[in-house]
Each structure stands twice: as C-alpha cells, then as structure tokens.
Amino acid sequence: MHLGQAGKSAAFPFNLHTAAEARGATLKIGDAILLEGGRLAVMDDPRVKEVATRYPGRPGIQQWSDQ
C-alpha cells in the first residue's frame, strides 16, 4: 500500500508518502474487498485470470492465476 502527496513547493520541497506492507490483511473499502487474506481480490475475476494466462512465467502471475 502506498499513500502519496504531491504538494511539493519551493517553500516545502518534499513529497510526503507512507508505505506499508499488510501481509495477510484484508482491506475493504465500502462494499468492495480489495485485499483478502493478503491476496488481491480482483484476481478472482475470470476476466483477470484469462489475461494472466497470456503471460506464463512472468513474476507474480503464476501465484495468482493458479488459485
């Protein structure tokens, strides 16, 4: 997860941000589940799985498309 702020100016020349790992977490915003048990929930969508099958051997693809 990465939250950023691009309000950098001459008086404050910094880009503030927060980065965190949420291993095994579930993240729900409203009724939408984005992460479930640390896994991207969108990977359960058949359309996403179909696209993932086009890229066998790519890092990160196999672990999601097999589940």
Q: What is the pLDDT of residues 37-59, one digit of tens each?
A: 888 888 888 998 888 888 888 87
pTM of the entire structure? 0.48
- Residues 6+ positions from 56 with CB-CB distance below 8 Å: 62
Q: Would 16 be classed as within a structural domain?
A: no
- Domain span at residue 32? 23-67
Q: Would 12 be classed as within a structural domain?
A: no
Q: Would 9 be classed as within a structural domain?
A: no
Tell whether the model's pLDDT for residue 65 goes beyond 50: no
30 falls in which pLDDT band (50, 70, 90)? very high
Q: Would 67 be classed as within a structural domain?
A: yes
